[in-house]
Structure 1
Amino acid sequence: MDIFQRSIHLNAKKTDDDHLQVAGSLLDLEHSFHLELTVRVSTHTIVAATASMSKAPLTLCYSVLGSLDQLKGLSIERGIIKEIRSRLGGPKGCTHLIELLNDALRFTSMLLIGEAAGYGSRLGEDLSEEEIIAQGKKRLRNTCFVFAEEQGECPGSNLHN
């Protein structure tokens, strides 16, 4: 029997050649959050961050929304999750907002890595799968099975037999 459900949805769009708009939402039985980050692609820097709540379990929960100004100027790089927890986590913030921020930043980081690796929306149209993997291994070596330095048998490969 299910006792709780939470959904997190993330979406990104390019607003110009050097900016991404990343929107995230967290929805469960007690919360409804919306988060927007604007990121400069060339520097991996957060240039704006806003959040809103249309539902929270307590009225005091709404008071943490103004703290997102502290994200402005942060670079999306190794250690950013720890920095955000330091600035906005624990008794200074909301664990659910931190959860949404963590997911949004990991998502954004993946997009920035893809951008730097030359992946675009027409990727499969211009390159064969072997070319995509070879190109990807330059930056993504050993980040997953596809980009593994040496590909053994995938643990789930016998699931489709």
Structure 2
Amino acid sequence: MYLFNRSISINVRSADKKLLTVDGFFLDSHHELCITLGVDLESNTIVSANGEFLRVPHTDCEQSHNLINNLVGINLDRNVRKQIQRAVGLNYGCTHLTDLTLECVKGLLQAKFQLMHLTMQEEEINTIVEQYLEGSCLHYKTM
């Protein structure tokens, strides 16, 4: 018997060469949240954000829904975790919304690596990916 379950799903689509849309879904035994982020690729900035809290365990959790708008304007080049926590988490926010947003950003990064295949050679892509991921896991360990 399972006592708890959680699923997070991220889908990234390309509206055009300058804008990506990220759909995130968070579903567990107590919560059901979804967000959609629009990200400008040139500035690497969130330009739109909306979402829904479809199921939450406490009535005051719904107040965190209004914080989704705070994601607009976040630049994804540096201090991403801190910016997202300040925007939608910590004492007046929702840790699950924070987690979902961070997973959306990770999915976005993977999609950006995929987009490189449209304009770059495999060797160049591998160099960029290896530099970016250096030290992040066993495969990309630093020597």
For Structure 1 versus Structure 2, the TM-score category normalised by the shorter chain is 0.7 to 0.9
Structure 2 match to 1:12: 12
SS of structure 2 residue aligned to 1:141: helix
Of the two, which has the highest radius of gyration? 1
The SS at the match of 2:103 is helix
Q: CA deviation at 1:68?
A: 1.6
2:75 — aligned with what?
A: 75
Q: Using the TM superposition, give the Cα deviation of residue 62 of structure 1 relative to its aligned residue in structure 2, in angstroms.
A: 0.9
Q: Which runs of 4+ in 1 moved over 6 A?
A: 147-150
Where does structure 2 lack aligned partners over 5 or more consecutive residues?
none
Percent pairwise identity: 25
Distance in 2 separating the partners of 1:72 and 1:14: 18
Q: Are the counterparts in 2 of residues 141 and 149 from structure 1 also a CA contact under 8 Å?
A: no
> Would you say how many aligned residue pairs link Structure 1 and Structure 2?
138
AA at the equivalent of 1:45: T
SS in 1 for 2:30: coil
Cα drift, residue 91 of structure 1: 0.9
Higher relative contact order (CA 8 A, sep 6+): 2
- Say whether the 8 Å CA contact 2:81–2:102 is kept in structure 1: yes
Separation in 1, partners of 2:95, 2:35: 14
In the alignment, which residue of structure 1 is the partner of 2:124?
A: 135
TM-score normalised by length of structure 2: 0.84
TM-score (norm 1): 0.75
Q: Deviations over 1:93-123 (max 9, x none)?
A: 01111110111111112323443xx224xx9
Per-residue CA distance 1:48-106 (angstroms, 9 max, x = gap): 01120111111211111111221111111221111111232211101111110111111
Is structure 2 residue 50 aligned with structure 1 residue 33? no
Post-superposition Cα deviations, 1:110-144, rounded to whole Å, max 9, x if no partner, equal 323443xx224xx9xxx9xxx62x22232112526
User: Hey, what's the Cα distance between the residues in 2 that align with 1:49 and 1:101?
Assistant: 10
| Correspondence 1:12-161 to 2 at 5 A | 12-115=12-115, 118-120=116-118, 132=122, 134-141=123-130, 143=133, 145=139
User: What is the RMSD computed on CA atoms of the aligned residues?
Assistant: 2.4
